[in-house]
Amino acid sequence: MNASSASEGAAEHRRGRPGYDRRGILEVAVAVFNEQGYDATSVATLAERLGLGKSAIYHHFSSKEELLRRALDEALDGLEGALRDAIAADVTAGERLQLALTGAVTVLVERLPYVTLLLRVRGNSEVERAALDRRRAFDQELTRLVREAQGEGTIRSDVEAGVATRLLFGMVNSIVEWYRPSGPEDAAKLSADVVAIAMGGLRVAHG
């Protein structure tokens, strides 16, 4: 671990006012950003929700933009990690695609507020544009995986790879609009259902 990482790790555990550490402040900020919109939320609004002075927030985060960056990194790091793990698996491209979908749904469920925020950014700031660049790179990697699966004959090739990718992740991304952690399905069951429906429409028909 480098000095910067060690410093950030230590900062995660520093406590400010009773009841809120760095992580707790970030979680509340993400909730407020999702409720009110990032642009419409001020540091004063966050301080009021937290019951803290603005200085207590600035003790942990240099700006509202840093809060946004950390939140978007939380979502993107998880999604990118799931895709890397899937691509590295020693299985067919079609199976790697299934693993990528499973991993993405799992990250979405486990980091639901963060992914929800990610899907709402529109590129209105440098932080948001950087996040959108990472999303595009993610989509491109996934499209390459779809194309590879088409080439090996495990999924149908009559649907353009980019279109297939957008359809697959349109389904995955829609989960943020209706999924509730208190509902009947956990991440494992939900991801199995998504894979069954998505891959069922892409598999090559036999017979």
pTM comes to: 0.84
Per-residue pLDDT of the chain (207 residues; tens, 9 = 90+): 444 444 444 444 444 444 588 999 999 999 999 999 999 999 999 999 999 999 999 999 999 999 999 999 999 999 999 999 999 999 999 999 999 999 999 999 999 999 999 999 999 999 999 999 999 999 999 999 999 999 999 888 898 999 999 988 888 999 999 988 887 888 888 888 888 888 776 765 544
The second-level CATH assignment, the architecture, of 66-202 is Orthogonal Bundle (1.10)
174 near 119, Cβ under 8 Å? no
Residue 30 backbone dihedrals phi, psi, to 5 degrees: -60, -45
99 near 85, Cβ under 8 Å? yes
- In 3-state terms, the chain is what percent helix, strand and coil (to 5)? 75, 0, 25
87 near 79, Cβ under 8 Å? no
180 near 132, Cβ under 8 Å? no
DSSP 205: P
The size of the chain, in residues, is 207
Tokens of 121: 């950014």
Tokens of 20: 């809120």
Residue ranges per domain, the chain? 3-61, 66-202
CATH H superfamily, domain 3-61: Homeodomain-like (1.10.10.60)
